[in-house]
Structure 1
Amino acid sequence: MLNWSITTLKQYNHKPLTFDDTVDVKAELMERNPDIIDMTPVHATGTILFSRGDYTVDGDLKAEVTLPSTRSLVPVQVPIDFHFTETYLADESHSDQYEEDDVLIPLTSDWLDLMPAVKDNLLLSLPLRVLTKEEENAVTLPSGDDWTLMTEEEAAPVPPEERPNNPFAGLQGMFDDKGDDSDKQ
């Protein structure tokens, strides 16, 4: 289950080992993220390439996660289709061979276990904003007694001079904008 010995992987020297597996990580992910209501088993596919003494994993994860709407808390099924690339270093000194933005993970045992990567990448791929179809298509935002939902543009702070009942509005124009340094000479 997405776990290979280093000895096995070395046999694929410069030839990719392909994997295609379905894993159930629902319980672990629900424990780590209480917003997850339900989750289908994860379909993980990809390749592992042994090159330069290290192991590069190029994988895809597909699942369906049920999350609460961020607006109404109604359960919404969200498809997850996530691609990831990670390099597992057999020796940490190899890190200078890679680009700065490459994901590098030192191997700490004689096994390459992709389950932590699957779980972490799934959690990272969850959207922050989840809406039902009706909420996505709504023209007006919800409101209630003494409250209303606003867009970011509507919630932008209003400059003090444009606010109604501004106690400093009467002072506007009383001082010149050039500054007082010129009068002190």
Structure 2
Amino acid sequence: MKWALSELNKFRGSQVDFLETIDLSASLKKREPSIIDISPIKVNGFLEVDEIGYYAHMTIETILTVPSSRSLEPVELPLNLLIDEEYMTPKQYDALKDVSDDEKSLIIILEKDLIDLTEAIEDFILLNLPLQVLTEEEKQSTELPKGDFWQVVSEDDIKVEQETEAASTIDPRLAKLSDFFKEDE
């Protein structure tokens, strides 16, 4: 998934379509050790070439195997990602006018005369790893794991416990004030 700029410039004013299957499992496992396995990645997209720069649009599909957040059991996660990247040479970037700094920050400046889309694919996969991964059984179960002297509790349970605790306890220094507004009987 690498193209030399001299090769791409032959397609100026048009686009280069591609449909490939690539294997990035070794490099992804090296960058993120929690990845157990990743199937070959199907990449479908195009590179548009014009005077301004190089625009890449692609969709990727793969199945990622990562450990469950609770039990560390392997879980297969299908990933379908849409990737849009804009590349420019330093000369093209310096020639930009009427472009805001926010838009400029999204542009990737090429350090070599080469566009390598595998780097973008790897980055997008790693950025889209979910924080919480559960097996089907864990998703269906309402019971959270617990042991002899510990248990996992949800944030909702903690909030309810804190609210009931706050409502039932009165600060001893302010206990006499609770009688202040009582009507005389």
Distance 1:96 1:137, change over 3 A: farther
Does 1:55 pair with 2:54?
Answer: yes
Deviation at 1:163, TM superposition (A): 7.4
Q: Does 1:142 align with 2:141?
A: no
Give the aligned residue type for 1:31: K
Corresponding residue of 2:182: none
Residue number in structure 2 paired with 1:182: none
- Which residue does the alignment assign to 2:81? 82
Change (3 A) 1:151 1:163: same
Distance in structure 2 (CA, Å) of the matches to 1:131 and 1:95? 48
- CA offsets, 1:82-128, max 9 Å, x none? 11111001233238636826731101111111111111111111111
* Partner in structure 2 of residue 180 of structure 1: none
| In 1: Cα distance, 2:134 partner to 2:124 partner | 22
Please say if 1:170 is aligned against 2:169.
Answer: no
What's the counterpart of residue 103 of structure 1?
A: 106
Aligned residues: 173
Determine the C-alpha separation between the residues in 2 that align with 1:43 and 1:172.
Answer: 67
Q: Which residue of 2 aligns with 1:133?
A: 136
Instruction: Give the aligned partner of residue 121 of structure 2.
Output: 118
SS at match of 2:85: strand
In structure 2, relative to structure 1, the CA distance for the partners of 1:3 and 1:74 (3 Å cut) is: same
TM-score w.r.t. length of structure 2: 0.82
- Report percent identity of matched pairs: 29
Change (3 A) 1:68 1:96: farther
Aligned equivalents of 2:112 and 2:6: distance in 1? 12
The amino acid across from 2:174 in the alignment is: Q
Cα distance in 1 for partners of 2:98, 2:107 equals 10
**SS of residue paired to 1:158:** helix
Query: Equivalent residue of 1:143, what SS?
Result: coil
Partner Cα separation in structure 2 for residue 50 and residue 95 of structure 1: 19
Aligned match of 2:162 in 144, 158, 164? 158
The reply to whether residue 64 of structure 1 matches residue 63 of structure 2 is yes
Per the alignment, do residues 108 and 173 of structure 1 end up closer, same or farther by CA in structure 2, a change over 3 Å counting?
A: same
- Of 95-104 and 73-82, the range deviating more from structure 2: 95-104
Matched residues in 2 for 1:43 and 1:9: separation? 22
**1:74·1:132 contact (CA, 8 Å) conserved in 2?**
yes
Secondary structure of the corresponding residue to residue 33 of structure 2: coil
Q: Tell me which moved more, 34-43 or 44-53.
A: 44-53
The SS at the match of 2:131 is: coil
